[in-house]
């Protein structure tokens, strides 16, 4: 069996869940045997020569790749690898998220290696607000359909890409100021001594090694990526995330239990005709239609390569909303991490 290497960044475990889901399916289909590299501050660039497929996976942070992940990937010699694929994830189907992969796609193209496309999965927020379980099941079902499309395209040699948008590229560049925000906000992180049980989970699991214990106190450095792992996974909710405290979400989502829970219908967003959750209606429906078209072998909406994705991808956004080329300001304000 051919070999695949998954190079990924995760904050609170959602991208790790995504990577394992994709890898398990590819192995089950007899396509690729997976290896994994979860990037952190101690990661060493791997030798890519022995791999037939390299999959880059990451959570979208403010319409960009996580800063340290991109720094790590920039140092890789992609000419040594085989084919490349992107499987990213975020908490909302906003077209501006597509721009997060532009620098990575450009690097792949410069390498001269085959690029097999990108897939944008959905996961619940780990900051801003907590998703209801029924909605979590709905987007996990969406991910399952998108995974079917990914496998089908890889099997048939089809390529799935999002259309390039120079305005999105520019706006994504502007939002990199969030990385400066991480530096500033790290000075305001605090631990409630009355809640902290000194389990040291935050210290042991910080991907940047940014949290230490000094004189019996939890201390935060300035290398924070704002991945939210520490505050999200703290068993007692003892960590105050500074200027973003009002948006803190504490406690992991039991993703597998939610997915298998028969009491959850997984049709949450369709009960909304406006507002945040209503934005998911068309993207979810379109991906289902895309999969049904692939299963039926229909050539409707296909491009010159037999690729049927573009007609559906266009609705993974607010593009068709009147007067908004990108998305309304509330879209931007609602863009939280999923990690």
Could you tell me if 126 and 211 lie in one domain? no
Task: In whole angstroms, give the CA distance from residue 306 to residue 158.
Answer: 7
CATH number of the domain at 140, please: 3.40.50.360
Could you tell me if 155 and 186 lie in one domain? no
pLDDT tens-place string over residues 216-261: 999 999 999 999 999 999 999 999 999 999 999 999 999 999 999 9
In a domain, 261, yes or no: no
Could you tell me if 202 and 65 lie in one domain? no
Helix (H, G, I), strand (E, B) or coil at 106: helix
Helix (H, G, I), strand (E, B) or coil at 338: coil
Other beta carbons within 10 Å of 196:
18
Task: In whole angstroms, give the CA distance from residue 10 to residue 59.
Answer: 7
pLDDT score recorded for residue 123: 98
Distances, alpha carbon 319 to alpha carbons 101, 163, 242, 316, 326, in Å: 18, 12, 34, 8, 6
Could you tell me if 119 and 234 lie in one domain? no
Mean pLDDT of 76-99: 93
Full residue range of the structural domain in which residue 192 is found: 177-247
Q: What is the CA radius of gyration of the chain?
A: 20
Q: Report the residue count for the chain.
A: 339
6: β partners: 36, 55
DSSP 61: B
Q: Judge whether 119 and 160 are in contact, CB under 8 Å.
A: yes
Residue that is last in its domain, among 247, 264, 289: 247
Other beta carbons within 10 Å of 30:
9
Task: In whole angstroms, give the CA distance from residue 290 to residue 71.
Answer: 34
Could you tell me if 38 and 160 lie in one domain? yes
Could you tell me if 58 and 149 lie in one domain? yes
CATH number of the domain at 181, please: 3.30.70.20
Could you tell me if 168 and 182 lie in one domain? no
* Total number of domains constituting the chain: 2
Could you tell me if 207 and 167 lie in one domain? no
In a domain, 257, yes or no: no
Q: Which DSSP helix (H) or strand (E) runs through 55?
A: strand 53-57
pTM comes to: 0.88
Q: Judge whether 88 and 100 are in contact, CB under 8 Å.
A: yes
In a domain, 263, yes or no: no
Could you tell me if 163 and 94 lie in one domain? yes
DSSP 45: P
pLDDT tens-place string over residues 120-176: 999 999 999 999 999 999 999 999 999 999 999 999 999 888 999 999 999 999 999
Which residues does 123 contact at the CB level (< 8 Å), separation at least 6?
A: 14, 15, 17, 18, 59, 89, 90, 91, 139, 143, 338
Show the 3-state SS of 22-63.
HHHHHHHCCCEEEEEEECCCCCCCCCCCCCCEEEEECECECC
Task: In whole angstroms, give the CA distance from residue 247 to residue 128.
Answer: 4
Could you tell me if 165 and 26 lie in one domain? yes
In a domain, 253, yes or no: no
Could you tell me if 94 and 74 lie in one domain? yes
In a domain, 259, yes or no: no
pLDDT band for position 319 (50/70/90)? Answer: very low
> Which of the given ranges, 178-187, 206-215, 325-334, has the highest pLDDT on average?
206-215
Task: In whole angstroms, give the CA distance from residue 16 to residue 188.
Answer: 28
Higher pLDDT: 323 or 96? It is: 96
Other beta carbons within 10 Å of 201:
16
In a domain, 339, yes or no: no
pLDDT score recorded for residue 318: 37
Residue that is last in its domain, among 212, 247, 282: 247
**From the DSSP assignment, how many helices (H) and strands (E) are in the chain?**
12, 9
In a domain, 338, yes or no: no
Could you tell me if 112 and 130 lie in one domain? yes
In a domain, 196, yes or no: yes
Q: Judge whether 82 and 113 are in contact, CB under 8 Å.
A: yes
Question: Closest Cα to residue 319, out of 273, 265, 283?
Answer: 283
């Amino acid at each position: 069996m051919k070999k695949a290497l998954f190079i990924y960044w995760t904050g609170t475990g959602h991208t790790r869940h995504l990577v394992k889901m994709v890898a398990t399916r590819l192995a089950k289909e007899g396509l690729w045997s997976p290896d994994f590299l979860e990037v952190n501050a101690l990661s060493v660039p791997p030798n890519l020569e022995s791999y037939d497929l390299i999959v880059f996976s990451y959570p979208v942070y403010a319409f960009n790749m996580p800063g340290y992940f991109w720094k790590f990937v920039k140092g890789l010699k992609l000419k040594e690898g085989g084919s490349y694929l992107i499987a990213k994830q975020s908490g909302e189907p906003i077209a501006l998220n597509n721009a997060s992969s532009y620098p990575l796609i450009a690097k792949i193209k410069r390498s001269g290696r085959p690029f097999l496309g990108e897939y944008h999965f959905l996961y619940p927020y780990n900051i801003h607000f907590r998703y209801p379980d029924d909605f979590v099941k709905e987007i996990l079902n969406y991910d399952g359909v998108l995974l079917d499309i990914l496998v089908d395209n890889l099997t048939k040699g089809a390529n799935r890409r999002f259309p390039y948008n120079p305005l999105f590229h520019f706006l994504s560049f502007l939002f990199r100021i969030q990385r400066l925000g991480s530096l500033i906000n790290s000075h305001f992180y605090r631990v409630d001594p009355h809640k902290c049980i000194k389990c040291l989970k935050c210290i042991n699991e910080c991907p940047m090694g940014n949290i230490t214990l000094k004189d019996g106190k939890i201390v935060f450095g300035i290398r924070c990526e704002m991945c939210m792992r520490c505050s999200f996974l703290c068993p007692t909710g003892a960590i105050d995330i500074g200027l973003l405290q009002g948006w803190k979400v504490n406690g992991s989502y039991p993703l597998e239990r939610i997915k298998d829970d028969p009491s959850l219908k997984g049709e949450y967003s369709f009960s909304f005709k406006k507002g945040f959750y209503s934005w998911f209606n068309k993207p979810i429906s379109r991906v289902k239609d895309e999969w049904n078209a692939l299963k039926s072998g229909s050539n409707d909406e296909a491009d010159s390569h037999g690729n049927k994705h573009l007609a559906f991808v266009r609705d993974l956004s607010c593009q068709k909303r009147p007067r908004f080329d990108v998305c309304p300001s509330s879209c931007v304000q609602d863009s939280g991490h999923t990690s």
